[in-house]
Every structure is written in C-alpha cells, then in structure tokens.
Amino acid sequence: MMRAMEIYEHPTFRMACQQFDLVADHLQMPEPERDRVKYPKRALTVALPIHRDDGSTKVFTGYRVQHHLTLGPTKGGLRFHPDVTLGEVAALAMWMSWKCGLMGLPYGGAKGGVTCDPGKLSKTELERVTRRYTQEMIPFIGPQVDVMAPDLGTNEQVMAWMMDTYSVHVGATVPSIVTGKPVGLGGSLGRKEATGRGVGYLVNRATDTIGLDISKATAAIQGFGNVGSVAALSLARYGVKVVAVTDAVGGIYNPKGLDLWGLNKHVASARTVAGFPEAEPITNEQLLVLPCDILVPAALERQITAENAAKLQCRIIAEAANGPTTPEADVILNQRPEVFIIPDVLCNAGGVVVSYFEWVQDLQSFFWGETEVVDKLFRILETAFTQVITSSRKQKLSMRVAALTIGIKRVQEAKRIRGLFP
C-alpha cells in the first residue's frame, strides 16, 4: 500500500496526510480503514504537446487526481501554475473530499493541474493547452464522473474552452461537464464571487464569535486573484478596512486603508497590485506578520509556517487559500487561543457550494436568480460554521480538527455503509 502511494511524495501531500492522521487518531479509526479513506482512488498523468505561436512544439505535463467516488462524482478545480506536481494535486484532491463532506455535497474530491506559467503563454497557447488537457482527460471525466472548476491560474474562459472541447467530442452541448463557466454558457449567477463572498460571510461570523467589531476591523490579504479580490470587496461591505494586499509580483500597504475600486482598476490594466499609487510597497513576509485584525491568505499553500506563526499579529486567520497553514504552524497557533482560525475546508467552501448549484442547474436546465444562489449559499455556510464551532467547543478541538473531523467522518461512514466490493 505505502509503496504505491510514494508517487504522491510532496510536502503538501505529506501535510494533508498529517492532518488526516490527527483526525483518524481522534476518531480512533482502525488502520485498514484509514488507508481506504485517506488515499486517492485514482490518478492520471498526461503529456500535452502544443504548437507555440512561433511554430515550435512544447510538451506540458497535466494531472488529475480523483480522491474518492463513494458519494457521487468527484469535484475539484484545475490549476495552472509552474510548481504543479502530482503530489500537490493529490493533497488538494483530499482536501476537496473533506470540504464536500463538511458541506454535505454529493461529491468526492478531485483536483487537476498543468505545470505551466499561464502568464507566459499567449491567449491562443493557453487555449491549446486547455483543449489538449481536456481531450486527454475525456476517458476520465464526465458530468456523473468528475466535474472540474477554476482554481489558481484558470478562470471562466478556461472553463468555457473545456466545456466546448468536451461538447464537440460528445456531439452535444454538455454544460454540466465543468462549473465556473461564464453565465451565458450555463454558468451560475454568483459563482465567480462565491468563494470570496463566503470568506466575507464567515469572517463576519467569526468576529461575532470573538466579540470583535467588524466595522472597525482591518485586513491584510495575500493574493488578489478571483478569491482575494472578491474577499476584499466583501469584507469592505461589512465595514472592514483593507490595509495591505500582495500578489505574485509585489505588494502594497496603506495603514489608512486601500481604495479597492481604484485598486481593481489598476490591476485590470497593470495585472498586478504593485505600483498602485498612495501605498507603500510590502513583501509577502511583511504582510503575513503585519498588525491587523483579519489575515486572509488567498494565494498558495504553506505560507504560515513554524517560522512566522509565533509572529502573526492578527485576531482572525481566514484561510481563503487551500492549505496555507502547515501542521508545524498549527502546533504553535494552537498555543495562541487569541488567534481564531477559519480553516480552509470551511473558509473557502463557498466556491464548491455554488459550483454544486451550477451543476444542479445545468442538469435540470433550470436557472436560479442571484438572490436565491446567495441565500442558499449562506444557509449552507451557516450550518457548517455552527457545526464546526459547536464541535470545537464541546470536544475541545481546534477549529481545523473539528472541521476536518466532520468531513472525514462523512466519507468514512459512506464507505462503511456501502461496504467493500467484491
């Protein structure tokens, strides 16, 4: 068993396994059952040759990992980033399983990725990578098998190309093959905003819980893509002053608060927050330890580590990114009860919840208004937040272990009830 799983060797996969083991110990899960619940069901690696615009050929590597198929199709994002590896994708697929379990969605987790830098590809090259990846994935995906969505480095346009490639193959339009599509192609109203909006909702609930006046709070946000930028606006609507933002290129800081509308305009043309007027430059390292009430990691994994965890000066960590806090950092933060963590599987779940709504709408060809989407989203997040905080307090568990326990238990129970074939 262990030998086979060595293909996933990667610090992020090890981190996901460590988190799982903590919960399995807490649940006193028997050893053979652990392996069955923990390890991904299947994985595919593909070579993606494409024509570059200059006429040359380049081969990229693509991955897809489906963690479990016990509760329905698998669901999870597609990432385009230079550091994508099979092990990272496998860890992200595991987290998707626990997230879907926690939210009560009829899905297993999955994740995909292509090792490429989308910023260095032309639009036509990006389209060729996307279409070739989708073509290679055809034996592995389907609306009842595995449904993809945007993640780091991918967006609505990428989902539209995927849906088109799959539909051309099938010979009929199949919107339910991906979520996070443009609304005009069967996407859901409120999907693009869902993850960041959910972050805002849950931060508001967290401030209630710890007795912090949200209208006087400040926030620092790492990552200003889909999730970070919407989270910033959503927090601002609750009265939060966003004082610092970083992205892959640079960062900005203004203790008086950043003008978010101006910043969005700047990013639309400059493609980075760096260089925004009326702010000082700031690095990622500085942002993470900045005095502020709410810290929102919304970029990459393993940003809050044993090196900086003791130095954080925030009251709330809202994990908009997947896996931003290492298990070593968790040990330190568990000794700092003044820091309230909204763990990733809860904090960024708004995205998959509205992806689920999109899939349901596509299967029924019956579309909802945005108010209905947002109302249903907030109800599901509210239930999950209440379950996690109640379990954390009653059983004296960290918010992370409480959240993961609910998600993992659901998968464990489904596997037990279905039995083992043959």
Instruction: Write out the residues near ligand NAD by the rule CB under 6 A.
Output: 150-153, 195, 222-228, 246-248, 284, 298-300, 320-322, 348, 351
Q: Considering the complex, what minimum distance in angstroms separates the CB of residue 31 from ligand NAD?
A: 31
Q: Considering the complex, what minimum distance in angstroms separates the CB of residue 97 from ligand NAD?
A: 14
Which residue, 326 or 412, has its beta carbon nearer to ligand NAD?
326
Which residue among the candidates 111, 181, 192, 409 is catalytic per the annotation?
Answer: 111
CA dihedral 90, 92, 97, 102 (to 10 degrees): 160
Q: Considering the complex, what minimum distance in angstroms separates the CB of residue 56 from ligand NAD?
A: 26
Q: Parallel, antiparallel, or unpaired for β 316-318 and 340-342?
A: parallel
Side-chain-facing half-sphere of 253: CA atoms under 13 Å = 16
Minimal CA–CA distance to 305: which of 284, 328, 285? 328
Q: Parallel, antiparallel, or unpaired for β 42-51 and 57-66?
A: antiparallel
Q: Considering the complex, what minimum distance in angstroms separates the CB of residue 378 from ligand NAD?
A: 16
Helical axes 11-26 vs 399-418, angle rounded to 10°: 80
Amino acid (1-letter code) at residue 355? S
Amino acid (1-letter code) at residue 36? R
Q: Considering the complex, what minimum distance in angstroms separates the CB of residue 196 from ligand NAD?
A: 8
Which residue, 33 or 250, has its beta carbon nearer to ligand NAD?
250
Which residue, 93 or 141, has its beta carbon nearer to ligand NAD?
93
* Residue 144: partners with Cβ closer than 8 Å, 6 or more residues away: 72, 73
Amino acid (1-letter code) at residue 376? K
Which residue, 20 or 224, has its beta carbon nearer to ligand NAD?
224
Q: Considering the complex, what minimum distance in angstroms separates the CB of residue 259 from ligand NAD?
A: 18
- 150 preceded by cis ω (within 30°)? no
Known catalytic membership, residue 111? yes
Amino acid (1-letter code) at residue 29? M
Which residue, 153 or 407, has its beta carbon nearer to ligand NAD?
153
Backbone torsions φ then ψ of 74, nearest 5 degrees: -90, 155
Side-chain-facing half-sphere of 98: CA atoms under 13 Å = 32
Which residue, 24 or 178, has its beta carbon nearer to ligand NAD?
178
Which residue, 245 or 408, has its beta carbon nearer to ligand NAD?
245
Which residue, 29 or 200, has its beta carbon nearer to ligand NAD?
200
Give residue number: closest CB to ligand NAD. 225
By annotation, the residues acting in catalysis are 111
